[in-house]
Chains A and B, each alone.
Chain A
Amino acid sequence: MIAIIDYGAGNTASVINVLKDLKADFVLSGDKEIISSADKIILPGVGEASSAMNILNELYLIDVIKNFSKPFLGICLGMQLLCRKTEEGDADCLNIIPVDVKKFNLQKTKVPHMGWNQIELVNNNFLFNGIDDKSYFYFAHSYYVAENEFTTSVCKYGINFSSSIRYENFYGVQFHPEKSAEQGIQIIKNFLSL
Chain B
Amino acid sequence: MLAKRIIPCLDVKDGKVVKGTNFVNLRDAGSAVELAERYYHEGADELVFLDITASIEKRKTLVNLIQEVASVIRIPFTVGGGISSVEDISDVLNSGADKISLNTAAVKNPDLISEAAKKFGSQAIVAAVDIKKMSDGYKVFINGGKQETELEGLSWCKKVSELGAGEILITSMDKDGTKSGYDIDFISNLVKLVNVPVIASGGAGTKEHFLEAFNAGADACLAAGLFHYQELKIRELKNYLFQKGIQVRL
Given A110-B195, A115-B45, A136-B3, do A14 and B96 touch, yes or no (CB 8 Å)? yes
A114 at interface (Cβ–Cβ under 8 A)?
yes
Given A110-B219, A114-B197, do A13 and B70 touch, yes or no (CB 8 Å)? yes
B75 at interface (Cβ–Cβ under 8 A)?
yes
Which chain B residues lie closer than 8 Å to A166 at the CB level?
none
B5 at interface (Cβ–Cβ under 8 A)?
yes
B144 at interface (Cβ–Cβ under 8 A)?
no
Q: Mark A158-183, 1 if CB is under 8 A from B, else 0.
A: 00000000000000000010111110
| CB of A187 to closest CB in B, whole Å | 12
B118 at interface (Cβ–Cβ under 8 A)?
yes
Interface of chain B residues 95 through 145 with chain A (CB within 8 A): 95-99, 118-124
Residue from A48, A116, A182 within 8 A of B3 (CB atoms): A116
Which chain B residues lie closer than 8 Å to A106 at the CB level?
195
Given A10-B94, A48-B118, do A181 and B195 touch, yes or no (CB 8 Å)? no
| CB of A134 to closest CB in B, whole Å | 10
What range describes how many residues of A lie at the interface? 35 or more
Q: Which residue of B lies closest to A184 (CB)?
A: B74
Which chain A residues lie closer than 8 Å to B94 at the CB level?
10-13
Q: Mark B188-223, 1 if CB is under 8 A from A, else 0.
A: 000000011100000000000000000000011000
CA A171 – CA B214 in complex, angstroms?
Answer: 35
| CB of A19 to closest CB in B, whole Å | 12
Residue from B70, B196, B197 within 8 A of A17 (CB atoms): B70
Residue from A18, A48, A112, A185 within 8 A of B197 (CB atoms): A112
Structural contact, B249 and A116, CB atoms closer than 8 A:
yes
CA A14 – CA B93 in complex, angstroms?
Answer: 10
Structural contact, B5 and A46, CB atoms closer than 8 A:
no
Q: Mark B137-169, 1 if CB is under 8 A from A, else 0.
A: 000000000000000000000000000001100
Residue from A12, A142, A157 within 8 A of B2 (CB atoms): A157
Structural contact, A142 and B74, CB atoms closer than 8 A:
no
B76 at interface (Cβ–Cβ under 8 A)?
yes
A144 at interface (Cβ–Cβ under 8 A)?
no
| CB of B96 to closest CB in A, whole Å | 4
A-B contact count (CB 8 A): 109
CA A165 – CA B197 in complex, angstroms?
Answer: 26
Structural contact, A179 and B3, CB atoms closer than 8 A:
no
A36 at interface (Cβ–Cβ under 8 A)?
no
A156 at interface (Cβ–Cβ under 8 A)?
yes
Structural contact, A116 and B67, CB atoms closer than 8 A:
no
| CB of A16 to closest CB in B, whole Å | 9
Q: Mark A131-165, 1 if CB is under 8 A from B, else 0.
A: 00000101011100000000000001100000000
Q: Which residue of B lies closest to A136 (CB)?
A: B249
B71 at interface (Cβ–Cβ under 8 A)?
yes
Structural contact, B93 and A179, CB atoms closer than 8 A:
no
CA A106 – CA B194 in complex, angstroms?
Answer: 10
Give the B-binding residues of A (Cβ under 8 A). Answer: 10-14, 17-18, 20, 46-48, 77, 106, 110-118, 136, 138, 140-142, 156-157, 176, 178-182, 184-185
